């Protein structure tokens, strides 16, 4: 059986998005050979600690790693079908094990330069009041790129939040509605948000209906801010139906099933002329750092979970005024706090 354990990640403040509010997130840490991975389990997706644990109980680590420690692709091929977050944890642990065996950081084995990674956004959850929102903005006044969560139920309130942020920060702004708007509401708000100079609009409409994305695009004028799909795209197979409707995709390991599938998604997105964001769930430094190794391949990064979690049991990537910093240690470069 694979060595795994559930972990509870407590947030510094309640995190409110269109899907609901959280103060604690439950994830699962996986250890495989010398590698470590994480299954991130947001409460608005269908997977749970129980379903991930049941799957991991079926995995034979020796069979998965195999006899050749440097044969990464065959090992990844042996990951059986199952919950995407659990497969992601195994995939990341295998990458970490492989890179540690070769004695190099994962990004170096991929030929990537961390200094080419985009500046990460920092996410502000939907505020209860504008006074509370002003305090949030004061706390991140030096951050260069802010993501504003929208979709609390009142479209005019959403615009008010963006206008308020513009008056109280010099940071670049982007917005994420987490699928809260109808096509009609999104068609009204996106031109207004474009006039407010937001860099992009993420997941404006609900997931699961590519036709709605095309209908939205038909209702929008030319030149609006880029539309980035998140919940609407999980794996490579989702990209074709969104090409020409969404301008880009948010790639997350817990959705895709791991680093290999995430890299495939990035390659296909580029082929289809789409932009790429590397994102995260609420994760420890394990999952967050794994995603950060892909950041040099992206146009945008949203890897701020380490600033939201109060009691991360691991250390790894850091953000310095939004700039992603990765370790020179072999593998992911993640360590457990003593």
What is the residue-averaged pLDDT of the chain?
95
- What does the alpha-carbon distance between residue 147 and residue 279 come to, in Å, rounded to a whole number? 12
Mean pLDDT of 279-286: 97
- What does the alpha-carbon distance between residue 336 and residue 331 come to, in Å, rounded to a whole number? 14
- Give tens-digit pLDDT for 26-57: 999 999 999 999 999 998 888 999 999 999 99
**Domains, the chain, ordered by start:** 3-103 (3.30.390.10), 108-336 (3.20.20.120)
- What does the alpha-carbon distance between residue 92 and residue 76 come to, in Å, rounded to a whole number? 10
pLDDT at 20: 75
The phi, psi pair for 224, rounded to 5°, reads -75, 165
What's the pLDDT band for 233 if we cut at 50, 70, 90? very high
What's the pLDDT band for 130 if we cut at 50, 70, 90? very high
Please name the residues in contact with 94: beta carbons below 8 A apart, sequence gap of 6 or more. 32, 33, 35, 37, 64, 65, 72, 75, 76, 79
- Give tens-digit pLDDT for 4-32: 999 999 999 888 787 777 889 999 999 99
1 pLDDT higher than 80: no
Q: What is the DSSP letter of 144?
A: S
Mean pLDDT of 226-253: 96
Map tokens 């990209």 to a residue. Answer: 239
pLDDT at 106: 98
Global pTM value = 0.95
pLDDT at 22: 80
Q: What is the DSSP string of 36-62?
A: EEEE---TTSS--HHHHHHHHTT--HH
As a whole number of Å, the end-to-end CA separation of the chain is 26
pLDDT at 62: 93
Q: Please answer whether residues 122 and 322 qualify as being in contact, where contact means their C-beta atoms are separated by less than 8 angstroms.
A: yes
- Residue from 106, 53, 42 nearest 254 by CA: 42
Distance of CA 121 to the CA centre of its chain: 11
Partners of 3 in beta bridges: 31
Map tokens 């269908």 to a residue. Answer: 46
For 113, what's the count of Cα atoms within 13 Å in the CB-facing half-sphere? Answer: 2
303 pLDDT higher than 80: yes
- What does the alpha-carbon distance between residue 7 and residue 263 come to, in Å, rounded to a whole number? 27
138 pLDDT higher than 80: yes
């Amino acid at each position: 059986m694979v060595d795994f354990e559930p972990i509870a990640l407590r947030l510094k403040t309640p995190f409110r998005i269109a899907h609901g509010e959280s103060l604690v997130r439950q994830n699962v840490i996986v250890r495989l050979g010398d590698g470590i991975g994480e299954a991130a389990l947001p409460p608005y997706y269908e997977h749970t600690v129980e379903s991930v644990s049941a799957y991991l109980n079926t995995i034979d680590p020796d069979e998965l790693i195999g006899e050749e420690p440097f044969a990464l692709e065959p090992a990844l091929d042996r990951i059986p079908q199952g919950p995407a977050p659990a497969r992601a944890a195994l995939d990341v642990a295998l990458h970490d094990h492989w890179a540690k065996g070769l004695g190099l950081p994962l990004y170096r084995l991929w030929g990537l330069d961390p200094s080419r990674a985009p500046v990460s956004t920092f996410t502000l959850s939907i505020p209860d009041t504008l006074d509370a929102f002003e305090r949030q903005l004061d706390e991140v006044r030096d951050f260069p790129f802010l993501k504003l969560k929208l979709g609390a139920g009142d479209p005019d309130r959403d615009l008010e939040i963006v206008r308020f942020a513009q008056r109280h920060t010099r940071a670049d702004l982007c917005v994420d509605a987490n699928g809260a708007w109808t096509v009609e509401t999104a068609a009204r708000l996106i031109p207004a948000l474009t006039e407010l100079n937001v860099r992009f609009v993420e997941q404006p409409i609900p997931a699961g209906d590519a036709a709605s994305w095309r209908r939205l695009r038909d209702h929008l004028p030319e030149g609006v801010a880029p539309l980035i799909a998140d919940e609407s795209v999980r794996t490579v197979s989702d990209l074709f139906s969104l090409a020409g409707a969404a301008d880009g995709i948010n790639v997350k390991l817990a959705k895709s099933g791991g680093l290999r599938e995430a890299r495939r998604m990035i390659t296909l997105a580029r082929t289809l002329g789409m932009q790429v964001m590397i994102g995260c769930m609420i994760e420890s430094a394990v999952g967050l750092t794994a995603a950060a190794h892909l950041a040099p391949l992206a146009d945008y990064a949203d890897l701020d979970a380490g600033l939201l979690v109060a009691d991360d049991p691991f250390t790894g990537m850091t953000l310095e005024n939004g700039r992603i910093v990765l370790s020179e240690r072999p593998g992911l470069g993640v360590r457990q706090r003593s």
